[in-house]
Amino acid sequence: MPISVNKESMRIVKEIYNNPEKYNVAVSRGPLEAHIIDAGIESRGGFLIGKRIVEICLGGLGEAQIELTCLGHLNVPAINVCTDYPAISTLGSQMAGWRIKVGDYVAMGSGPARALAQKPKNIYEKIKYKDEEAETVIVLEGMKLPPEEAIKNISDSCRIPPEKLFVIVAPTTSIAGLTQISGRVVEVGIYRLVEMGFDPNLILYACGWAPIPSVHPDVVEAMGRSNDAILYGGSVYMVVDYCDDKHLEKIVGEAVSSASEDYGRPFAEIFRKADQDFYKIDPKIFAPAEITVVNKRTGKTFSAGRINTDVLMRSIGI
């Protein structure tokens, strides 16, 4: 029986739910008796809950550590993540692949609940993964707590009663939200390779690092900084088992953000120039700053890209 991202992650979720003061979160029974964990809307949240959200989003199949690092002349927090189940933990759980929209409420959903709802289905067909559990957790990146209709939509899609649903909400303008987005650095790298036709099941191990940007009260600016942390500051390392070194070298060279025509400007600037329409942005920009891939079959190592400190400094207003 395949490992369950829901079963593994719920151990972390319940530890948080039973110790809200430790994590600066507010817990409550929300609409339809769903369990709500507020990690930054009305509660303070912070780095500790942000780290745990990363591990929940990885389906309990990865670990995260926060450290202080130096970018140029500035010391900033950064997050390290690693997983021995790259395809399942990132594409099968962590990826923000579920858009929740009911009425005027909009949020991006990630985490183990996606594996029950199989959203989006084509991703689960690629990684050949399905999970079945009696309770689940979804992480919402949004500015409001979810209304009753959103809770019903999520629980119905997961085929579980609402009282078995745990919802963690962390806005992009919060420390927890920015931490968990930087913690997606490996997922971004893997997804870019998949978009280029690489089979994610051939990725054996992965780890990554990205700075955690400073907070900003404006949603677009905060979103821009969160993207820049990965596009200009994210580093990914993978071990794969692949039959063709020449092809691997080629795709690694194109799997970094500098391969995009939009590269070189802070993402908020790119976004505004595109009339805040993601579809007008070159999709190649959504990649880590640098990537290193080791082929276990041949022992060869391929690397591309670099950390761009100049753009990162501009992004956070320095």
Q: Domain containing 289 — which CATH number?
A: 3.30.1030.10
pLDDT in tens, 188-218: 999 999 999 999 999 999 999 999 999 999 9
Q: Give the per-residue pLDDT at 278.
A: 85
pLDDT in tens, 156-186: 999 999 999 999 999 999 999 999 999 999 9
Say how far apart CA 229 and CA 289 lie, in whole Å.
9
Task: At 23, list the tokens.
Answer: 């994590």
Question: Number of structural domains, the chain?
Answer: 1
Q: Give the per-residue pLDDT at 235.
A: 98
Under 8 Å CB-to-CB from 266, ≥6 apart: which residues?
224, 225, 228, 311, 314, 315
In a domain, 45, yes or no: no
**Contact predicate 128/115, CB 8 Å:** no
In a domain, 130, yes or no: no
Under 8 Å CB-to-CB from 130, ≥6 apart: which residues?
2, 115, 118, 124
Paired sense of beta strands 165-169 and 62-71, if any: unpaired
Q: Give the per-residue pLDDT at 108.
A: 96
In a domain, 293, yes or no: yes
Domain limits for position 246: 184-318
In a domain, 266, yes or no: yes
Spatial strand order of the sheet with 62-71 comes to 62-71, 74-83, 203-211, 235-240, 290-295, 301-305
Q: Give the per-residue pLDDT at 277.
A: 87
| Max CA separation in the chain (angstroms) | 54
In a domain, 305, yes or no: yes
In a domain, 133, yes or no: no
The Cα-based distances of 91 to 3, 34, 149 in angstroms read: 15, 25, 26
Quick one: how far is CA 116 from the chain centroid?
Answer: 18
Under 8 Å CB-to-CB from 62, ≥6 apart: which residues?
54, 55, 81, 82, 83, 85, 89, 186
* One-letter amino acid of 194: V
Average confidence (pLDDT) per 10 residues, the chain, 318 residues: 92 97 97 97 97 98 96 92 98 96 95 98 96 97 96 98 98 97 98 97 98 95 97 98 97 97 95 89 96 98 97 90
In a domain, 243, yes or no: yes
Q: Give the per-residue pLDDT at 276.
A: 85
In a domain, 310, yes or no: yes
The Cα-based distances of 223 to 2, 69, 235 in angstroms read: 35, 21, 19
